[in-house]
Structure formats: structure tokens, C-alpha cells
Amino acid sequence: MEDLGTPVLDNHLHLDPANGRGIDAVRDFRRLGGTHLLVVNKPSWHLGVEAEAGEDFRAVFEETLSVVADADAELPGRAWPVLGVHPGLITRLTDERGFSPGEARDLMRAGLDAAAEYVREGDALALKSGRPHYEVSDAVWDASNDVLKHALSLGAELDCAVQLHTEATDDLTEVAEWADERGLDPENVVKHYAGGTLAGPTPSVMSEKDRLRTAAEEGAPFLMETDFVDDPDRPGAVMGPKTVPRRVRWLLEEGEDDAVENAHVETPRRVYGVDTRETLSR
């Protein structure tokens, strides 16, 4: 069991104990020195849930809560759930299930309302939303932005962070303004799958050396993630669960202790209000 002498948080990954590696992936993460995880629910349709109403998303959320409880028991730190509606759902609804963009928007907002209930009850740490990273019609784009704005409103109401899946960009100042207008500090908005630098929200940087080097040089608040999807059909699609602890070890070898403290202690505290050091070795 590796001890890197610091909390090590993967800010965004998925676990699928039914079809993927599940808790084995958590054990790999831990063995290399990982301590804390933010586990995001898989897209609803990947779990065979074709939601008709907001409450239907609960089946997806309950699966995440269950695997997070198991992960939590495996780790020297904590595992926390992040719940929401994947922005790609809008395409599935409009292209394959006959929804208008407005109907899809309403269903996705209702799904976020269901996710928000878990945050309100203290069973989830943050919400997840966003907009497509691929080309869509204006109507679908506008509907997606309405969904995203609804997530920001819920984040403001619940005083919780909102993780976003968006197009690849290093400038989301417009989204930061939307958050601000709704009373949510843009710092509590997190762009997942980010590069090393981002204007607006807090970047959750994909753990490639180039991106991390940029983030370390920048010195601004950032998080680290793998977006491990735990999908046996897409083994090479993303980074494995060992990547964040490996990159932390590398950063420490490079003398980037401040960057490690930033991504694994300070930024988690600012964004989510969690204390990764205090919750270590309970």
C-alpha cells in the first residue's frame, strides 16, 4: 500500500460494479496511494434506464450511492457521490425517442430536481450537468443551456458545487456569469475533462502530464481527474483508476508540492467544503 504523504483525490470517475471493474478499480486506486474519490453516476441509458419522469432517474442515483458506500469502506479517506443528468441524453431523447427539445429539457430538469433531493438530504456532495460537446441544432443547444442554468440555480439554492460536462474550451466565462447571476460562486462550478487552464469556473484537469504541468505553472485552483468510465466495451477509452496517484507521485518528484496541495487539499475545500486531510485515516 503506497503512502504518498498527502490526500489524493480523483475528482471525476465512474464505477460500474455490475458490468465493469467496480470495487477492484477502487482497490487499484488505493494501492497506488489514492485516498478520496468523487464518483459520478453513469449516463442513465448506459444502465438501461429510459427515463420518462424525473423520479425515474432515482434508480441510476441509487446504484451510484450503493457503490460509493462500498468504495468509502475501501478507502483511507472518503468517497462521495456526484449526481446529475448527462447532457448527451438530450440527443438520445430528441433523435431516438421522439422528444421535442423542450420536452427533453423539461425531463432533464426534472432529473436534476431528483438529484438535488439527495444533496438536500446530505446523501450526495454535488450536482452534475452540462451541455453537448458535439455539434447540435440551435434548438437543442438552447434547451441544453436551459438545463445547465437550472443546475446552476439548484447549486445556488443548495449551496453545493456543480460539475459540468461541456465542449472542449479554455474559456467558460459566460457560464461563470450565469452562475454569478443565480447566486452561485463560479468557483463552485467545475468543468470536468478540462485542460490545464480555464477562464471562469474551476478546472478539473485530465491527468495528462502536459495539462498538469500547465495547471501547476498557472498556480490557480484546480482539481485532478481521470474520467475512468469503467466500461468493459471501451477499455482504452479513458485513463485507468491508477492514473491520479501516479501523477501525484510524479508531481512530487518534480518538486510540485504546492500544486499537489492545491489540487488535493485547498481546491477541494474551496469548491466542495470538504477537508481531505481531516477525513484521512478515520
Site for Zn ion, rule CB under 5 A = 227
Any idea how long the chain is? 282
On whether the CB atoms of residues 240 and 229 are closer than 8 A, the answer is: no
Residue 75 CA to chain centroid, in angstroms?
Answer: 19
| Grid coordinates of 140 | 437543442
Backbone angles phi and psi of 3, in degrees to 5: -125, 110
Output 72 or 227, the one with its CB closest to Zn ion: 227
Output 42 or 109, the one with its CB closest to Zn ion: 42
SS3 206: strand
Output 238 or 265, the one with its CB closest to Zn ion: 238
Backbone angles phi and psi of 162, in degrees to 5: -125, 115
Nearest approach in angstroms of CB 165 to Zn ion is 7
Nearest approach in angstroms of CB 28 to Zn ion is 18
Output 16 or 227, the one with its CB closest to Zn ion: 227
Output 88 or 155, the one with its CB closest to Zn ion: 88
Output 227 or 256, the one with its CB closest to Zn ion: 227
Residue with the CB atom nearest Zn ion in the bound state: 227
Nearest approach in angstroms of CB 158 to Zn ion is 21
Nearest approach in angstroms of CB 40 to Zn ion is 5
Nearest approach in angstroms of CB 228 to Zn ion is 8
Question: CB within 8 A of 270, min separation 6: which ones?
Answer: 187, 202, 221
On whether the CB atoms of residues 137 and 144 are closer than 8 A, the answer is: no
Nearest approach in angstroms of CB 216 to Zn ion is 23
- Tell me which long-range contacts 278-282 makes (C-beta under 8 A, separation of at least 24): 279/36, 279/77, 279/78, 280/7, 280/35, 280/76, 280/77, 281/76, 281/77, 282/76
